[in-house]
Structure 1
Amino acid sequence: MARTDLSAVAEVRCALREFLRHRWQEDSAEVAELLLSELVTNALVHTDHGALVTVKVTPATLRVEVRDFVTGLTMSCVPNADDATHGRGLVLVHALADAWEVTAHALGKVVWFELDGEKP
């Protein structure tokens, strides 16, 4: 099975870092980069159809959405015990995000997370 080029993960992470540089707290921005990396990697590895990333910033909330365009896929927050290198992304999202959810659409889904905080 061909996989989407995972170099896009680093590109998206860098773009988020630049976008948040003067808009958000540095510690929370680093968490956002990590969680975005996990969600984009999931979308690229499990759908082979790419993803669309949306970031919304207010003084109180940072919201990151990753949308894929494949229907019928479920998201599990339980990693496979036999695989030491995969399956931990949603565990990190669950542990580090202030809120997160998977929202189904007619074509695909959106996995989003939010981080709370005021800009210093």
Structure 2
Amino acid sequence: MNTETTTPTAEFTQRFTSTRRGARLARHLAVHQLDAWGYAYDSELSDTAALIVAELAANAVTHGRVPGRDFELRLRLTETTLRIEVSDARGERVPMAREEPAPDAEAGRGLVLVAALAKDWGVSDRSIGKTIWANVVLAEILVD
């Protein structure tokens, strides 16, 4: 388990309904929060974060959904890293990145995309459910 040890300079946490609408809202609010922190819409960091949040939130509402339970998005900004965490209530369904989805597969590319965009990613247990996290190194992203 990889945990970030640096102190966040900024943090955002919000819960969303475990629906497609909740997943879209999570992506929208993530880029809005990054803009408030000085990372403009359509910057490389904003676009990267939007894709990662979209994939992790989609997985949370598709595979981690428990009726009546929300999922949670947390963004932690440090001087060097943006950490994206999405938590859901299904601890027994742990995702694994697939090597290569079949060319005609309609699903299975989400975590491959997350792995390609993030420095690292993983899964952490929590008292109820799990947290999927991804770290994006700011120095590797050209900030506008």
Q: Same fold (TM over 0.5)?
A: yes
Match of 2:35 in 1: 21
Report deviation, 1:22.
4.2
The separation in 1 between residues aligned to 2:93 and 2:104, in whole angstroms, is 20
Check the 8 A contact 2:65/2:89 in 1, yes or no.
no
Percent of residue pairs bearing the same amino acid type: 29
Give 4+ residue runs of structure 1 displaced > 6 Å after superposition. none
Report deviation, 1:70.
1.4
- Which segments of 5 or more consecutive residues in structure 1 lack a partner in the other structure? none
- Which segments of 5 or more consecutive residues in structure 2 lack a partner in the other structure? 1-17
The separation in 1 between residues aligned to 2:94 and 2:32, in whole angstroms, is 31
Paired residues, number:
117
* Matched residue type, 1:88: R
Tell me whether 1:100 sits opposite 2:121 in the alignment.
yes
- Residue number among 8, 23, 34 corresponding to 1:9 in the alignment: 23
Match of 1:87 in 2: 108
Deviates more, 1:29-38 or 1:105-114: 105-114
* Matched residue type, 1:56: R
Report deviation, 1:82.
7.8
The separation in 1 between residues aligned to 2:110 and 2:25, in whole angstroms, is 18
Q: TM-score, normalised by structure 1?
A: 0.85
Match of 2:5 in 1: none
Q: Deviations over 1:48-82 (max 9, x none)?
A: 23311111112311111001111211212016538
Q: Secondary structure at the match of 2:24?
A: helix
